[in-house]
Each structure stands twice: as structure tokens, then as C-alpha cells.
Amino acid sequence: MIAHLRGRLLSKTPNQAIVECAGVGYDVTISVATFSALPSEGTDAALHIHTHVREDQISLFGFSETQEKHLFEKLLTISGIGPKLAITVLSGIDASRLVTAIRSGDHATLTRIPGIGKKTAERVVLELKDKLDDLAVSIPTSGAGPHHGPAGDDALSALVNLGYARPVAQKAIETAITKTPEVANDFETLFRAAMQAIR
């Protein structure tokens, strides 16, 4: 099984990276956090890999941090969560907030993540609440640009996941908060305001 890749980053998007190793280009599905942490295209990059094997295909999922990979693999143990949904979860919320939400049984935060309904959120908390001791609450992220609290970080991840460039998304969030400061603490309101700022 492939566990790690190091090579030239041929291309990257918020959910995919192509890494060339010894003349072979590997198509790797990635999270928004990993996309943000990757270097520019054409330079060397390294990814921790989870290889997912099915009867009809082999899929690679890549992570810039080992802790994000471990969290991804913990999510896969939950009934109803496959690798694509696990990546969507990690793209929809900052990993350290996800760990905190699971440990504290914060169903409201979990159900805001695309693809996670009430029952799935309850299963995630029930099955993982006591299994995250090996994961630090603070998982390193790229640290690129200013942070605007948990709601701002989540809105930024969501916008980048929708395909907006990170600087454009950050500017939209700053514009929304400057215009209406009270939106800063509510993900949904801030996300809508940032979308309007982009348009």
C-alpha cells in the first residue's frame, strides 16, 4: 500500500492534487486544509497517503499532516461515512474544531458540515468521543492569512471548497465582518454575507 508520496506537484485544486514521482503522476484526493498547506505548483511536495481499495478501483487520499490522516481514518470507522464524505467533513470544518465538537458532543456544529445529518452526527460523537485522545486539539493548519474566529475559519474553508481562491474568500469574509461586525460569530450568517460580498 502507498503510505507516503514525495515528488513534483503538477497541479492542485481544493480537492485534488497530482504528484509526479519517478515519472508517474499520482491523482490524490485532498482536503481544503491540505490544499492550503501545499506549496505552489511545479515545486516538491510531500503527502501522507491513505490508500482505499475497492473491487473496481484504488483511490489515494492525501494529507499534509499525519494527525489529519489519523482523523480521516477514525471517521472511516463510522457506519455510513466513506472516504469521500470523510474528506468533505475535513474540508467543511477546521480539524481542531472537529475534534473539539466530537469530544464535547456538539451536534449542532457537526450538522452544519455538508453531508452530515443529525443521525450521522450522533453516531460520530457516540463512536469517536473517547477515541480521540491521541489527537491534539490543535492540529496545525497552513496559517496563511488572518483568522476571524471559528466561524470565520469555517466560512473560509467552505468558500475555498466551493472553488473560490483563498485570497478572494478571505477578502470577502473581511468585507462582510467590516460591514456587519455581528456576523463574525455565526457561520451561516457570515457565509451568506461573504457570498454576497464575492458577487
**Backbone phi, then psi, for 80, in 5-degree steps?**
95, -5
Where exactly are the structural domains of the chain? 4-63, 66-128, 149-198
pLDDT number for residue 25:
96
Q: Is residue 141 predicted with pLDDT exceeding 80?
A: no
Q: What is the CATH number of domain 66-128?
A: 1.10.150.20
Are 4-63 and 66-128 the same fold in CATH?
no
| Residue 112 grid coordinates | 452544519
Pick the residue with more confidence: 70 or 151? 70
| Residue 141 grid coordinates | 493548519
DSSP one-letter code for 159: H
Q: Is residue 42 predicted with pLDDT exceeding 80?
A: yes
Distances (CA, A) of 27 to 4, 16, 45, 161, 165: 13, 7, 13, 18, 21
pLDDT number for residue 156:
83
The DSSP element (H or E) to which 10 belongs, if any, is strand 4-13
Decide: 17 and 30 in contact? Cβ < 8 Å.
yes
Average pLDDT over residues 138-160: 65
d(CA 19, CA 13): 12
pTM, two decimal places: 0.67
Tell me: the pLDDT tens digits for 80-130? Answer: 899 999 999 998 888 888 888 898 899 988 998 888 999 999 999 999 988
Q: Above pLDDT 90, what percent of the chain? A: 44
pLDDT number for residue 140:
41
Decide: 21 and 9 in contact? Cβ < 8 Å.
no
Can you say whether the dihedral through the CA atoms of 82, 156, 158, 102 is positive or negative? positive
d(CA 47, CA 60): 10
pLDDT number for residue 138:
43
- Spelled out in words, what is the top-level CATH class assigned to the domain 4-63? mainly beta
Write the secondary structure of 40-78 as one string of H (helix), E (strand) and C (coil).
CCCCEEEEEEEEEECCCCEEEEEECCHHHHHHHHHHHCC
DSSP bridge partners of 8:
20, 44
Tell me: the pLDDT tens digits for 173-183? Answer: 888 888 888 88
pLDDT number for residue 147:
58
Q: Above pLDDT 70, what percent of the chain? A: 92
Q: At 4, is the secondary structure helix, strand, or coil?
A: strand
pLDDT number for residue 135:
64
Q: At 118, is the secondary structure helix, strand, or coil?
A: helix
